[in-house]
Amino acid sequence: MFESLSDRLNETFGRLGKKGRLTEQDVDEAMREVRRALLEADVNFKVVKDFVAAVRERSVGQDVLKSLTPAQTAIGIVNEELIRVLGTDREPLRAPERPPQILMLVGLQGSGKTTHAAKLAVHLRKEGRNPILVAGDVYRPAAVNQLQALGKQIGVTVYEEGVQQNPVDIARNGVKFAQERGFNPVIVDTAGRLQIDEKMMQELVNVKAKISPTEILLVADAMTGQEAVSVAQAFHERLGVTGLILTKMDGDARGGAALSIRAVTGVPIKFIGTGEKTDALEPFYPDRLAGRILGMGDVLSLVEKAREQTDEKDAKRMQDRMMKGQFDLEDFLDQLQKLRNMGPLNQLLEMIPGIGSQLRQAKAQVSEDDLKGIEAIIQSMTPDERRNPHIIGRSRRIRIARGCGAEIHQVKDLIKQFDEMKKMMGDLGAMTKKGKMPKGFPPLR
Amino acid sequence: MPVVLNRLFRRRVEVDPQLAQGLEKTRRGVFSEITKLFERTAIDDELFEDLEMLLIQADVGWDISQRLVGELKSRIESESIKDPLTAREVLRLEMVELLELATRNRKVKILQRGVPFVIMVVGVNGVGKTTSIAKIAAYHKSFNRTVMLAAGDTFRAAAIDQLNVWGGRLDVPVIAHEQGSDPGAVVFDAMQAAHNRNIDVLIVDTAGRLHNKSNLMAELSKIRKIMQKTVEDAPQEVLLVIDATTGQNGLVQAQEFAKSVDITDIMISKLDGTSKGGIAFSVAKEIGTPISYIGTGEKATDFAEFRPETYVDSLFFGIGDGL
């Protein structure tokens, strides 16, 4: 449903360009597209208003009007502005005046505080630190058990007092315990709460007063809508939030909420959560998020998806087989299935910048069914046939075709194509071994 | 339908007190501003601009906001409406009609004696699936049905404990294996247990999953197949929980879950916050799946059936503020 902003701007300027000269009114029309794109990405409407005003000013003043490629120039300005608002520098966690460093996690229910407490612990331990987790969520059923289970899984000590005690006392005792035993940093989990729940917000204020945390990190879901602003503002006003962790970035939400929060609170985004595993925590890169908010393709996510499907050993083994000319239909099937596991083909192609619009222009449709057809043909072969396709004669072809509902010539074509592909791989392997590169291939390095 | 007809047939606004209470905070936000917006002497361009802004602020989304405002404009013109309050009424009915798209396809659910009615609860991480399950369990118990829970979220740490706590509170049996075990196996056992113990309603928790992870989505179809080994048409209900705080991604969630598991019902959770749950409108328009329930708090009783008119009216008027 979302077209990328660059497609839309190309369309707008393309339409306008036909009449010759661009005017300020034309820029206004383009700005409407910018506004729409940001709103669809869940950027708060107030933030959008200011943002578009800033972009408009630069666009009119600058070269968009004279540019031969006004759409690209405008996109460039939008992108730059986005990165400017999101923060150009990476901000590390603050160092405490005196140890231990205390990190307090706050946020709405279900934003991912407990999971990210554990992720932070893993991250900091990798830096050679000795973290401890403090179980301060006494309200959600089994939240303490969840933190304990995570602690056990990652091998990090969890301080807890069950669910009968007051979270303020638990936090204070947890910090004291950490000081006595030499744990540093102390990561304090708190219960999720609504920013309008006065009693619960006061509780956080009390926790803060008792333990004077080095960082108060607001944990926010990347899928949050327009409310992100009031949530962040309320937490910030009461507590003085020092950083933001943006979670569930492995989803496909545009993540405009991050821009809103950053714009209204000025709080830096320190980490993003990118998966369910305890090591899925990454530093924040403004340019990546800017591209994502604009829907301009996301090569990095594509790479990540590919990584999800293969492990390195597997890939190496496959490469060896290809080079040695041992690649068989069984391997081919495996590769096909991995590709399909990465998601719908169209969606994958859209992640590659530029391809989305080209596909639409060419009205080309990559057919998932074609791949399914190939899979079906290979699957109706015996393991022996898959390993030695040359044994497939006429009668086997008929059987295979019947087994998968394909035409006999399709089976033949598949084997022929596979043979050619294999031959090419073999050639490539042989040539690299001799140190010669086949014509037209870039050097392997 | 012309306004006049609607007026003739309109029932007196019934506001579900519990729902209204939960929605109170929401109402005080954007939607009461919508009410205020129409308290002016004349209909002008500023009204439309502000209205669009308020709708967007409620997460109604760009497309639907344009559509609602556009339709309102054309109705005002074609029916020569001068009174802002009449215009407000037109808008209100438009919004109700839009939400009715989400209830039109509602099917009557039939509980058969001796066959467990299986509800599979799905959704992305952190939307409140487990809490919602407690609410649905309490809801079915209130009709004197026997209820059982299946701890199908074997992935998240302590998800099983969380369900067990609710099982204890509601006095409902919970079938669980260990964390990290195969969810399919738990579901199979639960199906057998529900069948053998003559349970009326079996509610199956599943691990939260992002809708763009195709392998996790495929797992849901596998679980469904396992259910069908015991009860042929199970799960009779596949409930997608969407967090009211969610922005436009909520629609993508609904689309993707609908594609991979044939969801039959949608529940909007966390409507007790300031979030407006405006995503309900695009979900209603774009997906045929009925929105059936709403969740308004952390207690098992913070739950109501979704009714388009009540939803819109509570958001507009609240308790004691009839027409």
Is A142 within 8 Å of B164 when comparing Cβ atoms?
Answer: yes
In chain B, the residue whose alpha carbon lies closest to the alpha carbon of A309 is B215
Whether the Cβ atoms of residue A256 and residue A42 lie closer than 8 Å to each other:
yes
What is the Cα gyration radius of chain A?
28
- Which carries the bigger pLDDT value, residue A308 or residue B49? B49
Is B274 within 8 Å of A1 when comparing Cβ atoms?
Answer: no
Q: Which CATH architecture has domain A5-86?
A: Up-down Bundle (1.20)
CATH number among 3.40.50.300, 1.10.260.30, 2.70.98.10, 3.40.640.10, domain A303-434: 1.10.260.30
Rounded to a whole number of angstroms, the distance from the CA of B45 to the nearest CA of chain A is 17
Q: Which of residues 31-70 of A touch B (CB under 8 A)?
A: 36, 39-42, 44-45
Q: Does B35 touch chain A (CB under 8 A)?
A: no
What is the Cα gyration radius of chain B?
21
At position A265, the amino acid (one-letter code) is T
Binning pLDDT at 50, 70 and 90, where does residue B213 land?
Answer: confident
Q: Which of residues 62-121 of A touch B (CB under 8 A)?
A: 108-112
Task: Give, rounded to a whole angstrom, the gap between the first and last alpha carbons of chain A.
Answer: 39
In chain A, the residue whose alpha carbon lies closest to the alpha carbon of B54 is A45
Sort residue A162 into left (φ over 0), alpha (ψ -120 to 50) or beta.
left
Question: What's the 3-state SS for chain A?
Answer: CCCCHHHHHHHHHHHHHCCCCCCHHHHHHHHHHHHHHHHHCCCCHHHHHHHHHHHHHHHHHCCCCCCCCHHHHHHHHHHHHHHHHHCCCCCCCCCCCCCCCEEEEECCCCCCHHHHHHHHHHHHHHCCCECEEEEECCCCCCHHHHHHHHHHHHCCEEECECECCCHHHHHHHHHHHHHHHCCECEEEEECCCCCCCHHHHHHHHHHHHHHCCCEEEEEEECCECCCHHHHHHHHHHHHCCCEEEEECCCCCCCCHHHHHHHHHHCCCEEEEECCCCCCCEEECCHHHHHHHHCCCCCHHHHHHHHHHHCCHHHHHHHHHHHHCCCCCHHHHHHHHHHHHHCCCHHHHHHCCCCHHHHHHHHCCCCCHHHHHHHHHHHHCCCHHHHHCHHHCCHHHHHHHHHHHCCCHHHHHHHHHHHHHHHHHHHHHHHHHHHCCCCCCCCCCC
Distance CA B51, CA B59 (A): 13
Of A161-170, A378-387, B149-158, B269-278, the least confident:
B269-278
Domain positions in chain A: 5-86, 102-296, 303-434
Is B211 within 8 Å of A221 when comparing Cβ atoms?
Answer: no
Tokens describing residue A205: 């204020």
Report pLDDT for B150: 97
Distance CA A399, CA A226 (A): 59
Report pLDDT for A423: 76
Report pLDDT for A360: 47
- Considering only the beta carbons, identify the residue of A153, A230, A341 that sits closest to B214: A341
Report pLDDT for A307: 61
Residues in chain A closer than 8 A to B130 (CB atoms) = 141
Is B158 within 8 Å of A195 when comparing Cβ atoms?
Answer: no
Residues in chain A closer than 8 A to B162 (CB atoms) = 140-143, 145-146
Whether the Cβ atoms of residue B245 and residue B206 lie closer than 8 Å to each other:
no
Q: Does A140 touch chain B (CB under 8 A)?
A: yes
Distance CA A53, CA A24 (A): 13
Interface test with A, best of B211, B214, B248, B298 (most A CBs within 10 A): B248
Is B162 within 8 Å of A343 when comparing Cβ atoms?
Answer: no
Rounded to a whole number of angstroms, the distance from the CA of A43 to the nearest CA of chain B is 9
- What are A136's strand-pairing partners? A190
Report pLDDT for A162: 92
* Helix, strand, or coil (residue B103): coil
How far is CA B285 from its chain centroid?
Answer: 14
Is A226 within 8 Å of B59 when comparing Cβ atoms?
Answer: yes
If you average pLDDT over residues B200-222, what whole number do you get?
Answer: 93
Distance CA B58, CA B55 (A): 5
Report pLDDT for A308: 62
**Other residues' Cβ atoms within 10 Å of the Cβ of residue A371:** 15
Q: Does A304 touch chain B (CB under 8 A)?
A: no
* Helix, strand, or coil (residue B183): helix
Distance CA A282, CA A273 (A): 6
Record the pTM: 0.78
Q: What is the mean pLDDT of each run of 10 residues along chain A (445 residues)?
A: 64 67 79 89 92 89 71 82 86 91 96 96 95 96 94 96 95 97 96 94 97 97 93 96 94 89 94 91 86 67 62 72 78 79 63 52 54 86 88 90 88 85 70 50 40
Element containing residue B293 per DSSP (H, E): strand B291-295
Taking alpha carbons only, the member of A165, A194, A193, A159 closest to residue A178 is A159
Report pLDDT for B4: 28
If you average pLDDT over residues B272-282, what whole number do you get?
Answer: 85
**Other residues' Cβ atoms within 10 Å of the Cβ of residue A208:** 20
State pLDDT tens for residues B62-120: 999 999 999 999 999 999 999 998 999 999 999 999 999 988 888 888 888 889 999 99
Q: Which of residues 271-310 of B touch A (CB under 8 A)?
A: 272-276, 278-279, 298
Give chain B's mean pLDDT.
86
Residues in chain B closer than 8 A to A39 (CB atoms) = 56, 61-62
Q: Which of residues 198-257 of A touch B (CB under 8 A)?
A: 221, 223-228, 230-231, 248, 250-254, 256-257
In chain A, the residue whose alpha carbon lies closest to the alpha carbon of B52 is A45
Distance CA B272, CA B131 (A): 14
Distance CA A291, CA A225 (A): 19
Q: Does A443 touch chain B (CB under 8 A)?
A: no
Label residues A313-340 b or e (16+ Cβ within 10 Å = b): eeeeebeeebbeeebbbebbbeeeebeb
In chain A, the residue whose alpha carbon lies closest to the alpha carbon of B270 is A109
Calculate the alpha carbon distances from A100 to A106, A147, A243, A252, A282 in Å.
19, 20, 18, 37, 23
Calculate the alpha carbon distances from B68 to B75, B97, B307 in Å.
11, 11, 20
Report pLDDT for A257: 92
Mutual orientation of helices B84-100 and B45-57 as an angle, nearest 10°? 30
Residues in chain B closer than 8 A to A343 (CB atoms) = 212, 214
Per-residue DSSP letter, B246:
B
Report pLDDT for B6: 28
Report pLDDT for A440: 42
Contacts of B280 (CB under 8 A, 6+ apart): B99, B102, B268, B291, B311
Binning pLDDT at 50, 70 and 90, where does residue B5 land?
Answer: very low
Interface contacts (A, B; CB < 8 Å): 145
Rounded to a whole number of angstroms, the distance from the CA of A277 to the nearest CA of chain B is 10
- Which carries the bigger pLDDT value, residue B154 or residue B36? B154
Whether the Cβ atoms of residue A216 and residue B216 lie closer than 8 Å to each other:
no
Distance CA A395, CA A393 (A): 6
Report pLDDT for A388: 87
Report pLDDT for B166: 95
Residues in chain A closer than 8 A to B280 (CB atoms) = none
Distance CA B51, CA B30 (A): 10
Put the strands of the sheet holding B303-305 in their side by side order. B174-175, B147-150, B201-205, B117-122, B237-243, B265-269, B291-295, B303-305
Is B279 within 8 Å of A194 when comparing Cβ atoms?
Answer: no
Residues in chain A closer than 8 A to B54 (CB atoms) = none
Report pLDDT for A7: 73
Q: Does A145 touch chain B (CB under 8 A)?
A: yes
Is B273 within 8 Å of A146 when comparing Cβ atoms?
Answer: no
Superfamily of domain covering A102-296? P-loop containing nucleotide triphosphate hydrolases (3.40.50.300)
Alpha helices in chain B (DSSP H): 3-9, 17-26, 32-37, 45-57, 62-78, 84-100, 129-141, 159-170, 183-196, 214-230, 249-261, 279-286, 308-316
Domains and CATH numbers, chain B: 17-100 (1.20.120.140), 117-306 (3.40.50.300)
Residues in chain B closer than 8 A to A345 (CB atoms) = none
- Considering only the beta carbons, identify the residue of B25, B179, B270 that sits closest to A196: B25
At position B55, the amino acid (one-letter code) is L
In chain A, the residue whose alpha carbon lies closest to the alpha carbon of B296 is A194
